[in-house]
Structure 1
Amino acid sequence: MKNILLLLPPRRGWGWLLGLVLLLAGAAPAWAQYPTSTTPNPLGAGTGLNAPPIVRPDTSTVRKLSKKEKRSQAAADSAKRTERLFGLHLTRPEKAGILALVPGTGQIYNHKYWKLPLVYGMVGGLGYWVSYQVRYYGYYKFANNLRPTSTKTVAQQINDAKDYEISDKDGVRTALAAAVAANPNVTLNGLIFYRRNLDLSILISGLGFGLQILDAVVDAHLHDFDVSDNLSLNWQPVLLPVPGQLVPAPGLGLTLRTK
């Protein structure tokens, strides 16, 4: 027994040795939770340290509105629908947008009569541009489909065309026949040119039509906007007294009127 006691460390070192043993014993269960390359994975391949994180489904739910809140929202929405059109309750911007489907009607509804010449001028100009491209595209399409025969050339067939096929107004038929006689590729080049212009004219006309609808809707939104001098919040430059000085300093004064 005496020899065994001599192999043990002195009593003064027992404290740190015991603490080290307890620390290792407490960390062992935690280390056992982490899989290693030599530890078999019960979940199968792809679930070790290099496995992608598992995305859990979102279990949060959106709070449903109570019946009282739904009634309050419905009442607030109904209060805005002060206009009627074809038996329907609409807001003022909605009614202006529907009426603007007929160009100029939305501006009349908003009492912006000074905009009518602009609207009708835009619609008339764009409409004439589209009709011009459609007419000449039809002329060149008809001429491009012609082929020389044993008795008549393409230029002669253009001269013999009827008015609804190629109109002779302003010498269009004669000029086209002369151009084709000089260069047979005129019909194909003209067909491509007027087809491109037709697409462009339709696109710009659609934008112009949408612009006058947008103008009517914006005017209806701003119908009740207060732009008078009697606003709730006014500002004006003022001279503010400075403590300890005789000369006031320039500043900005804000006046808030509660209604």
Structure 2
Amino acid sequence: MNKLFYIVALCFLLGNQNLYSQQIVEGLAIKDSTKLKEIDPLTPTKAAFYSAILPGLGQAYNKRYWKIPIVYGALGTSMYFYLDNNKKYHSYRDAYKRRLAGFTGDQYSYLDDSRLVQAQRFYQRNRDLSLLVTLGFYILNIVDANVDAHLIQFNVNDKLSLAPDIYQNDFTARPNLGLTLNFKF
């Protein structure tokens, strides 16, 4: 019974509160915040294009400056691993080629031929995986700029509301709790 009382009280308090602003008072003038902003359908395309040209530029176009270090951190880290694995792959490959040509005394003289081949395959696989991760972060950067530009234009105004509601059951005469979603055209 106590739980039902708390739920009813909570719904009553939340249902009667004005949780969104209808008017913003600036000095003595009242500005109506329900006017719809004009939507530019090319904004997401521009943001995606800017991010494709220079990673992070689409985030700057959307004024989401805090995302730019994340974009460059992700791309920079994956590029570092790509370049490091590529350098190690070429080092093991060159040592193996020199060994096949008959030279000895290289930096990997403690490894036999099968270990050199195994190291080449390991670093080649990691290099290729790092390249795929870098491309994935680049594409994610473009998609993020596009989706964020779409969401900036998303219509959120007073005509859309979600409010808790208490209504009486017609058969048992007991109160029922519910949520109503109102959309006014």
Q: Sort the TM-score into its range (normalised by shorter chain).
A: 0.5 to 0.7
* CA distance 1:250–1:141, shift in 2 (3 Å): closer
Q: Which residue does the alignment assign to 2:155?
A: 226
Q: Secondary structure at the match of 2:113?
A: coil
- Is 1:188 the counterpart of 2:140 in the alignment? no
> What is the CA-CA distance between 1:197 and the residue it aligns to?
1.5
Spell out, residue by residue over 1:66-117, the C-alpha distance to the aligned partner (whole angstroms, 9 max, x if none): xxxxxxxxxxxxx97x5xxxxxxx8111111111111111111111111112
Structure 2 counterparts to residues 69-108 of structure 1, below 5 A = 82=40, 91-101=42-52, 102-108=54-60
| d(CA) in 2 for partners of 1:226, 1:243 | 36
Which among 156, 163, 167 is matched to residue 236 of structure 1? 163
- Check conservation: 2:164, 2:179, Cα contact below 8 A: yes
Q: Which residue does the alignment assign to 1:111?
A: 63
> What is the CA-CA distance between 1:137 and the residue it aligns to?
1.1
Which among 101, 123, 143 is matched to residue 214 of structure 1? 143
> What is the CA-CA distance between 1:211 and the residue it aligns to?
0.8
Q: Which residue does the alignment assign to 1:197?
A: 126
Mean Cα deviation higher: 183-192 or 211-220: 183-192
List runs of 5+ in structure 1 lacking aligned partners.
1-78, 83-89, 159-172
> What is the CA-CA distance between 1:220 and the residue it aligns to?
1.1
| d(CA) in 2 for partners of 1:109, 1:116 | 11
Q: Secondary structure at the match of 1:103?
A: coil
| d(CA) in 1 for partners of 2:182, 2:100 | 85
- Check conservation: 2:85, 2:127, Cα contact below 8 A: yes
* CA distance 1:242–1:124, shift in 2 (3 Å): closer
List runs of 5+ in structure 2 lacking aligned partners.
1-37
> What is the CA-CA distance between 1:251 and the residue it aligns to?
4.4
The higher-RCO structure (CA 8 Å, 6+ apart) is: 2
| d(CA) in 2 for partners of 1:188, 1:257 | 69
Q: Which residue does the alignment assign to 1:53?
A: none
| d(CA) in 2 for partners of 1:200, 1:207 | 10
| d(CA) in 1 for partners of 2:85, 2:171 | 79
Normalising to structure 2: TM-score of the pair?
A: 0.66
Aligned residue type for 1:224: Q
- Is 1:137 the counterpart of 2:100 in the alignment? no
* CA distance 1:192–1:148, shift in 2 (3 Å): closer
* CA distance 1:139–1:237, shift in 2 (3 Å): same
> What is the CA-CA distance between 1:185 and the residue it aligns to?
2.6
Higher relative strand content:
2
* CA distance 1:112–1:246, shift in 2 (3 Å): same
Normalising to structure 1: TM-score of the pair?
A: 0.49
- Check conservation: 2:159, 2:184, Cα contact below 8 A: yes
Aligned residue type for 2:134: S
